[in-house]
Amino acid sequence: MSVNGVIAAYIHVRVMLEGRMPARQTSRPRARQTPKARSYHHGDLRRVLIDAALQLAAEGAEVSVREAARRAAVSPGAPFRHFPNRDALMAAVAGEAQRRFRAEIEGAMGEAPVADPLGRFRAFGLAYLRWAMRNPAHFEIISTGRYFAHGSSAELTRDNAELIALTERILAEAAEQGLLRPADLKRIQIAGRALVYGFARMNLDGHFPRWGVEEGEIERMAEGVIDLFIAGIAKP
Amino acid sequence: MSVNGVIAAYIHVRVMLEGRMPARQTSRPRARQTPKARSYHHGDLRRVLIDAALQLAAEGAEVSVREAARRAAVSPGAPFRHFPNRDALMAAVAGEAQRRFRAEIEGAMGEAPVADPLGRFRAFGLAYLRWAMRNPAHFEIISTGRYFAHGSSAELTRDNAELIALTERILAEAAEQGLLRPADLKRIQIAGRALVYGFARMNLDGHFPRWGVEEGEIERMAEGVIDLFIAGIAKP
DNA sequence: CCATTATGTAATCATCGATTACATTTGGAG
DNA sequence: CTCCAAATGTAATCGATGATTACATAATGG
């Protein structure tokens, strides 16, 4: 094993152990021709940290700053150059997850007929639940507010308000077209949201086994629950 | 300052810093006449730890084994004589909280007229939500399954199953009396639970500010949401 | 070209859950 | 009553984590 090999192995071990990438370049202090080669500065560490944290969450692992740093092959203190604390990182992660959530829902809404408010309402609920059940860790992060202070992610707040406004418009249309039994619209809106949120969280929090609902039945049950609710608010 | 004074001050500092209560008795190695005086053995540390943890949760603080030990004036390792790990402590805490939750709900149900299934269903939902909103930290612990492995608290599992069976009976009675629109009972049951669970968690997770619902309106909104749901499943 | 700023590293702290070896108490067998 | 074993608490220690500080290196713009 050459001297460089030994050094490389040493670096590898350190990377395995702690994820640190020593500043030492094996040769040529300035490798101009390969700007992609990891240099002392990372490139876009902020972005990479968010992605690493998202992936950690998706794997069901606990999101720790150090682990994200390890995956970015960077020292444990480096993330704090981009986020004042762990919560700020989580807020950024939540912002990204919420963006995807909103995109998914709005995509599904685009396929529902504009002229059918209750159909759109149903599509909203279904898209909401499908995403929540297929991205449980991300849904947890954006909904719980346990990982960072409320409102510390402007993106999350904005996208959330947008989704609330969307259901508000849909229900208003349904009411205008005389599709609803008489009831306070805000109450319907909140009840509907509580229903899907509660269903998503029952899944997330592992309640369904004790309700005797098998894994494969959950999506069908979600549909049934939404339909039950809509039948309850719709004019007979 | 006397020598004993110095020792007392030293002890005090250690208690302040780490919450440890040294075994050293200022005199009389065996104080028979006061069995309550803290001796080397604690008496019922297990119980005290659970209560300390419950109180920590109620204060909104993070529940840590060390902090519970501090409050019990015991060394950081002592709790592990009673709980194999942190999760086991949390499971015991959850068991205790769930016991209170069930007692509260069954108490409220006792006041509802037996002959009115839908009224009992409504009372169940209201009691559920009231307790959840007035004991947010306890509700969080018993519902989330984030603090300990599923099913590691037999008490929690049993009480939970009991509550599920209760709503099942109530709905069956309602159906027998012809009070319900035709629908799958299990679907109604799960939808109802998702509704109240979702509402409770929206409150817990701080969603209501962004829905424009003030603190004082929440209980009224809870009532409205439950009534909306019942009106939806009841035969017109 | 150089200085200012941005970004990463190294070293260090306090806290936490957990484990181990040791100390003290308690309770039962003889 | 005595003595020993089991139960229970203490002390010391480990590894992981979030966080902070001083320092090193790169990037940028006048």
CA of B125 to C1' of D29 (A): 66
Region of residue B100 (phi > 0: left; psi between -120 and 50: alpha; otherwise: beta): alpha
> Which amino acid belongs to residue B60?
G
Cβ distance A190 to B211 less than 8 Å, yes or no, reads: yes
Which residue among A145, A187, A231 places its CB closest to the CB of B206? A145
From chain A, which residues contact B within 8 Å (Cβ)? 143-146, 150, 157, 160-161, 164, 181, 183-184, 187-188, 190-191, 193-202, 205-207, 209-211, 213, 221, 224-225, 228-229, 231-233, 236
| Interface size between A and B, measured as CB pairs under 8 A | 118
Q: What is the pLDDT along chain A (236 residues), one digit of tens a residue?
A: 333 333 333 333 333 333 333 333 333 333 333 333 456 677 899 999 999 999 999 999 999 999 999 999 999 999 999 999 999 999 999 999 999 999 999 999 999 999 999 999 999 999 999 999 999 999 999 998 888 876 788 889 999 999 999 999 999 999 999 999 999 999 999 999 999 999 999 999 999 999 999 999 999 999 999 999 999 999 98
Q: Which of A90, A84, A44 is nearest to A67 (CA)?
A: A90
The residue in chain A having the minimum alpha-carbon distance to the alpha carbon of residue B164 is A211
- In the prediction, which pLDDT does B28 show? 33
Strand D atom within 7 Å of A67 CB: yes
Partner residue facing B195 (CB), from A160, A198, A200: A198
Residue A209, both tokens: 């086994």
Q: Collect all residues of chain B within an 8 Å Cβ-Cβ radius of residue A148.
A: none
Nucleotide nearest to B79 (CA to C1'): D9
Residue from the list B144, B183, B209 with its beta carbon closest to the beta carbon of A205: B144
Selected residue with higher pLDDT from B17 and B189: B189
Q: Which pairs from B200-203 meet CB under 8 Å and 24+ separation?
A: B200/A198, B200/B128, B200/B129, B200/B132, B200/B133, B200/B139, B200/B143, B201/A197, B201/A198, B201/A201, B201/B143, B202/A190, B202/A193, B202/A194, B202/A197, B203/B132, B203/B133, B203/B136
Of A residues 160-189, those with CB within 7 angstroms of nucleic strand D are none
Of A108, A129, A106, the closest CA to residue A195 belongs to A129
* pLDDT range class, residue B84, cuts 50, 70, 90: very high
Report the chain B residue with the minimal C-alpha distance to residue A204.
B144
Angstrom distance (rounded) from CA A26 to CA A5: 10
Report chain A residues whose CB lies below 8 A from the CB of B160: 210
* Whole-number distance in Å between A31 CA and D19 C1': 34
**Closest Cα to residue A104, out of A120, A119, A124, A121?**
A124
Is the distance from CB of B158 to CB of A154 less than 8 angstroms? no
Query: How far apart, in whole angstroms, are the C-alpha atoms of residue B158 and residue B160?
Result: 5
Instruction: Name the pLDDT band for B148 (thresholds 50, 70, 90).
Output: confident
The full 3-state SS of chain B, as one line of letters, equals CCHHHHHHHHHHHHHHHHCCCCCCCCCCCCCCCCCCCCCCCCCCHHHHHHHHHHHHHHCCCCCCHHHHHHHCCCCCCHHHHCCCCHHHHHHHHHHHHHHHHHHHHHHHHHCCCCCCHHHHHHHHHHHHHHHHHHCHHHHHHHHHCCCCCCCCCHHHHHHHHHHHHHHHHHHHHHHHCCCECCCCHHHHHHHHHHHHHHHHHHHHCCCHHHHCCCHHHHHHHHHHHHHHHHHHHECC
Residue nearest to nucleotide C15 (CA to C1'): B66
Distance CA B232, CA A230 (A): 9
For the record, the structure tokens of B139 come out as 């509700």
Domain boundaries, chain A: 3-26+38-81, 86-233
Q: Which amino acid is at B89?
A: L
pLDDT (0 to 100) of residue A210: 94
Of A160, A193, A206, the CB nearest to B150: A206
Nearby residues of B182 by Cβ (< 8 Å), 6 or more positions away: none
Element (H, E) at A123: helix A117-134
pLDDT band at residue B5 using 50, 70 and 90 as cut-offs: very low
Over residues B23-47, the mean pLDDT reads 53
Decide if B122 contacts B180 (C-beta within 8 A).
Answer: no
The contacts of residue A103 (CB under 8 Å, 6+ apart) are none
**Residue A103 · residue A19 · CB < 8 Å:** no
Q: Could you tell me the pLDDT band of residue B198, with boundaries at 50, 70 and 90?
A: very high
Q: Helices A185-204 and B185-204, interaxial angle, to 10°?
A: 90
What is the band of B24 on the pLDDT scale with cuts at 50, 70, 90?
Answer: very low
What distance, in Å, lies between the first and last C-alpha atoms of chain B?
83
Paired tokens of B223? 């009532």
Report the pLDDT value the prediction gives residue A103, as an integer from 0 to 100.
97
Res. B13: pLDDT tops 70: no
- Are B145 and A205 in contact (CB < 8 Å)? yes
Chain B residue closest in CA terms to A205: B144
Residue nearest to nucleotide C19 (CA to C1'): B77
The pLDDT of B57-86, averaged and rounded, is 96
B62 contact partners, CB below 8 Å, separation of at least 6? B56
For B100, residues 6+ apart whose C-beta sits below 8 A from its C-beta are B135, B138
- Taking the CA of residue B97 and the C1' sugar atom of nucleotide C18, their distance in angstroms comes to 26
pLDDT at site B25: 32
pLDDT given for residue B154 in this prediction = 87
Strand partners for A180:
A234
Average the pLDDT over B202-211 and give the result. Answer: 96
Q: Residues, chain B, total?
A: 236
Q: In the predicted model, is pLDDT for residue B40 greater than 90?
A: no
| Phi, psi angles (nearest 5°) of residue A57 | -60, -45
> By C-alpha distance, which of A156, A133, A152 is closest to A143?
A156
Topology of domain B86-233, per CATH? Answer: Tetracycline Repressor; domain 2 (1.10.357)
Question: B interface mutation test: which of A225, A226, A230, A235 has the most B CBs within 10 A?
Answer: A225
Contact B192, B107 (CB under 8 A): no
| Interchain pair B225, A190: CB under 8 A | yes
Q: Which residue has the tokens 């995956």?
A: A71
Among chain B residues, the shortest Cα distance to A192 is held by: B195
